[in-house]
Structure formats: C-alpha cells, structure tokens
Structure 1
Amino acid sequence: MTPYRLNRLFHPTSGRALDVAVDHGFFGEPSFLAGIADMPATVRTLAEAGPDAVQLTMGQAPLLQRIPQRTKPALVMRTDVANVYGNPLDEHLFSHHVPNAIEVAVRLDAVAVCVNLMQLPGRPDIREANIRSIMALREDATRLGMPLMIEPLVMQDNATAGGYMVDGDIDRITALVRQAVELGADLIKADPSDDLAEYGRVIEVAGEVPVLVRGGGRVDDRTLLERTHAVLRAGARGIVYGRNIIQHRSPAGVTAALMATVHEGAGVDEALAIIEEHAR
C-alpha cells in the first residue's frame, strides 16, 4: 500500500481525522435510516460542515464527489454488505463484498475503503465470509494503491441486546483488532471499550496501524466528547462517528465541536459551547 491517498484523510498538523459514517442504508435495516432518509441533503450538510472524510457506499458516493469544491471532505467507501443487524436475525445470514470494489473506489477517488471483520455469537461462518472478503480486497488494494480500513466488530447476541449492539470487552476487542492487523489492515476502525482507561491496549496491539474509534449508539454530547478525549489520549488517530452526528439536533455544530476536539485539543466545555453556538 502506498500512503499517498491518506494525505487527504489525516490532518496535516494534528495527524488525526474525523470520518462521518453515513453508509447505514447499505444494510437494509429500516431503523438505520433515521436522520439520513434524504441523502442528498445529508451529504450537502456534511460537506458544508467540513469533516475530514465522509464514509459512503458506491451508490451514494457520487453525491459527495460531484460537488465542485476543492476543500470538500475525502471519501471513504464501504465495500461490504451483510444482514446481521436485524432483531430477530434472518434465518439465513450473509456477508458479501463488492467484487470490483477497489476499482470502483479508484474511479470515485476514494482515500480508503472499509470492510467488516465481525464476530457474532455462534456464527463463525460470518467471520469466515469477512476474512475471505478482506483477503480478496487486500490483493486488489495492494495492486492499485488503495488503503484498506478493516472494522473489527465484536457483536452481542441480537436476541438479548438488539441489532447493532457491540461487546465492549477489552480482551475480545484487542483480539479482533490484532487479527485485522495480521490480515493486512492499513487502518483500523475499532469499537470503544467499556473501560476507556484500558483503551491503550487496543492501540498497542494495532502497532503501527492507525486506529480510528467508532462512535456506537447515540449518547449525550458531554459523554460523546469525554469519550473522544479518552480515546485520543490513549493514542487513537481519530474517530468515525455516524448517528451521533447525523441524528444530532445540529449536525454542523457537533461536527465543528469534534473537529476542534480532534485537531485543536478543545476541552469538553469549550466543545459544548461550540455546539450551542451553532444550534442558536
């Protein structure tokens, strides 16, 4: 992998990145569409807010890339689709990657592609499918110089926790992050742990591979900002937040607050004031 594309992802001064994930529609779950039903409006709002990157699927990426603006956010392209988020789960589960995803990402001028590495209770077949996708994508990504972001997800049982709920057990997170590194990840998109004081272990097992931390479910602004500070202190190179931005009462305000936190070291109270200023 050549690192040139990542120059458009990581901030030249802070060396960090804020990526806003709005690829949720790919998975076919109705509950995922809250806040992103109108994708052209969503992408316009995010482009104006100015995060470092926006994570989209190949079908929605043109909404960002056709904006005639030199300073717009970079594109991170989702490459795989799965039906593992329903409650109850479908009888037949699957996970597939787009066969020509890397070529599509090159044509769309993406800075990286993203693929899952999921651990579901009692379903090793899904993890196997993810590994097969990662190995196929790794081959093409190396050939075409496209950075590969692997997203390790330690999932809870949907029957007890509902869809899209992850396990914050630090031991399970670190094991799956390490597997992602061993599979050739150029970037890691990892869950926060239940005990954020232990998050340095995730950074340690990732080694030289930059870790961007997922936002997870919706939380209040102070909790979100405190969590962001904790993972950055631990050594994370950035964050990938979705619902905590796109479902926020002021997406532009929370984006500005997070950019100030990630790149300028703004304190929690300072960042909260930025949100309130935008919300007026």
Structure 2
Amino acid sequence: MSAISKVRLNRLFNQGKCLDVAIDHGIANEPDFLIGLEDITRVMQNLIVARPDAIQVNYGQADLLQQHQGDKPALVMRTDVGNAYNQARHREMWAVLHNPEEPILAALQMDAAAVVVNLYLIPDEPTIFRMCIENIGRLRHACERYGMPLMVEPLVMAPAGQGAAYGSLGDVEKIVPLVRLARELGADIIKADPTDNPEDFHRVVEAARCPTLVRGGGKGEISAVLNKSAALMAQGASGMVYGRNVYQHDNPAQVVKALMAIIHQGVSGEEALAIYQQNA
C-alpha cells in the first residue's frame, strides 16, 4: 500500500477502528430505502454533529459533507450502481461503475478517504458477478495509481423468490470464499455481512487479512443490533458500516454514540444500550 493510501486510511480509521454510516441508499432506486433520508441535507447535518468516523455517500451528496467547515467525519464514496436490490427480479442483472473511464475521479475531487464497490454473488446470475469483477479491476488500477484505499463489499445473495428482494445471506461457508476472492482482487478494506452465528465471524476476518467492517443490512431492534455488534467486534471486526440501523431509528445520534462506544471503547451490548437510552 502506498504512503498516500495509508494517510487516507488513517483519516478513516481511529486507532484501527471505524464506524462508517452509510446514507448512499438512493442509488438503489428503492422507495423503502429512502425512509428516513427524505431530507438528506438535515440527515447529513445531524450525522456530522453525531460524529461517526465516516459517512458513506454517492457523488451527488458528497458536497453536503465536504462543504462543512471544521472537523467532520471522513468521506467514503460509492463508485457503482446496479439493480440487485430491486423488489422484482429483472431480466438482466447488472452492476456498473458511475464513471468507467475515470472511476475514482469524483472521489479524488471530493477528497474521499476511500471508495467502495460491490461484489455480488447471486445464484444463476453469472453476468452481474463478472461485471463486478471487471469493476473491481478498473478500480484497483486507479486506486493503486492515485493512492486511494479500495473497500470491497462481497455479498452472497439469496436466490430470487426468497423474501421481498435479493436479500444477502449470513452463511459463513459462502461468505468466506467470496471475502477471500475480494481480498485476492486487491481489496484494502472488506465490508462483509455478519455471519448467522457471530462467533463464526473470526473466519471472515482471517480470510480478509485486512481491516474488516461489518455490514448492517435492514433495520433491527436496537438492543439486538447492539448486542450483535459487540459480539462481532469480539471476533476481530474493525468496525461497522451501518445505514438503516442508524438513520431509520428515532434518535440516530444516540445510535451513533452507542455504536462508537462498542467500537472504540469495547463496551458490551448491554452497556451500549444504556448509552443509547440516555437522553433518547
């Protein structure tokens, strides 16, 4: 990793740990994902005050973070868009980079600390898998050239017809090989689904051999989210990338405070719940 990449990583990780709040859900073109994000300017302002380590957005909202004066969370920019999260199965599944010719130009212009891209594994959909591999290849080349850390999000998706949409799976036997592939392709950071049994997550960390963040997924009950987060951190995770589990709660700032205590102070899920309940 280049010296510049390490500088950017240091902005993202505080003593090796990170809470990245993702609000890049508009790119999925799914109305349910936008609940809680209707006033994106207010959401961004509130998150900046709440002070997670990073905020993950698409290019069109990065200015809301970077125009803020003074200390602020680091910027993580998404680089791809696809149709894997849509409610209906599509005739053609696809995932493309926003700018395939200059895939990290926007991130450089906006002074991002890292870029993120998906690696979808969907049953009977080899085309989208190949497109993701090609996307990662283009990004890896550009990231190496300009000193930009690359976060890869390996997602083992359920077959069509299981649930409302293509949901991701927590099967450790399927997650580990895909995480290993992402690392082999050059990921500097892995963003992985939690394993069904949190005590198995150390296997994901071992396969990644780089900082490994846990993906949040859909909104859950707060005490369960905090307990699971603490258990995953105990298995060697470097932090969390949570979206709906932050911005769809009634008091996102208190959720951030509780998660930051788990990630940076090592408190238990029960202790984090008490923090959440203070002034909630």
Q: Give the unaligned 5+ runs of structure 1.
A: none
Cα distance in structure 1, aligned partners of 2:249 and 2:144: 37
- Distance of 1:164 and 1:234 partners within structure 2: 27
Matches within 5 A, 1:14-25: 15-25=16-26
Q: Which one-letter code corresponds to 2:119 in the other structure?
A: L
Q: Name which of structure 1's ranges 50-59 and 93-102 shifts more when overlaid on structure 2.
A: 93-102
Q: CA deviation at 1:267?
A: 2.2
1:187 to 186, 189, 206: 189
Alpha-carbon displacement from aligned partner over 1:199-240 (angstroms, at most 9, x marks no partner)? 111111112x11001011211111111111111111111110
2, 5, 9: which one pairs with 1:6?
Answer: 9
Equivalent positions of 1:250-261 (< 5 A) are 250-261=251-262
How far is 1:252 from its partner?
0.3
Q: Distance in 2 between matches of 1:199 and 1:129?
A: 27
Secondary structure of the corresponding residue to residue 113 of structure 1: strand
Match for residue 144 of structure 1? 146
* Native 8 Å contact 1:111 1:147 kept in 2: yes
Structure 2 length-normalised TM: 0.96
Corresponding residue of 1:199: 201
SS at match of 2:241: strand
1:269 is aligned to 2:241: no
Which amino acid counterpart does residue 149 of structure 1 have in structure 2?
Answer: M
Take 1:23 and 1:105, find their aligned partners in 2: how far apart are those partners? 14
Mapped partners of 1:22, 1:163: distance in 2: 20
Paired position in structure 1 for 2:223: 222
Q: TM-score, normalised by structure 1?
A: 0.96
Partner of 1:232: 233
Contact 1:82/1:96 (8 A) holds in 2: yes
Partner of 1:64: 65
The SS at the match of 1:11 is: coil
Q: Does residue 94 of the first structure (1) align with residue 77 of the second (2)?
A: no
Residue matched to 2:109:
107
Measured at CA, do residues 32 and 182 of structure 1 come closer, stay the same or move farther in structure 2, by a change above 3 Å? same
Contact 1:22 1:242 in 2 (8 A): yes
Contact 2:229/2:269 (CA < 8 Å) preserved in 1? Answer: no
- Answer whether contact 1:86 1:158 (CA < 8 A) is retained: no
Report the Cα distance in structure 1 between the residues aligned to 2:112 and 2:279, rounded to whole angstroms: 30
State the Cα distance separating 1:164 from its structure 2 match.
4.6
Aligned residue number for residue 214 of structure 2: 213
Kept after mapping to 1: 8 A contact 2:230/2:267: no
Distance in 2 (CA, whole Å) between partners of 1:183 and 1:167 is 22
Distance (Å, rounded) in 2 between the aligned partners of 1:170 and 1:239: 18
Q: CA deviation at 1:130?
A: 0.3
Structure 2 gap ranges (5+):
none
Amino acid at match of 1:90: H
Give distance in 1, aligned partners of 2:270 and 2:278: 12
Q: What SS does the aligned partner of 1:161 have?
A: coil
Identity %: 47
**Residue 87 (structure 1) shift:** 2.1
Separation in 2, partners of 1:43, 1:164: 28
Q: Give distance in 2, aligned partners of 1:228 and 1:217.
A: 14
Q: How many residues align?
A: 275
Amino acid at match of 1:153: L
Shift of residue 91 of structure 1?
2.1
Alpha-carbon separation, structure 2, partners of 1:266 and 1:205: 26
Whether the 8 Å CA contact 2:216–2:245 is kept in 1: the answer is yes
| Cα shift at 1:101 | 2.9
Q: Which is further off, 145-154 or 25-34?
A: 25-34
Tell me the distance in 1 between the aligned counterparts of 2:218 and 2:270. Answer: 22
**Deviation larger for 265-274 or 107-116:** 265-274
Give RMSD over aligned pairs.
1.1
- For residues 101-138 of structure 1, give each alpha carbon's deviation from its aligned partner in whole angstroms, at most 9, with x where no partner exists: 31211110100000000001110110100000000011
Distance 1:263 1:206 in 2: 21
- Give the Å deviation of 1:157: 2.0
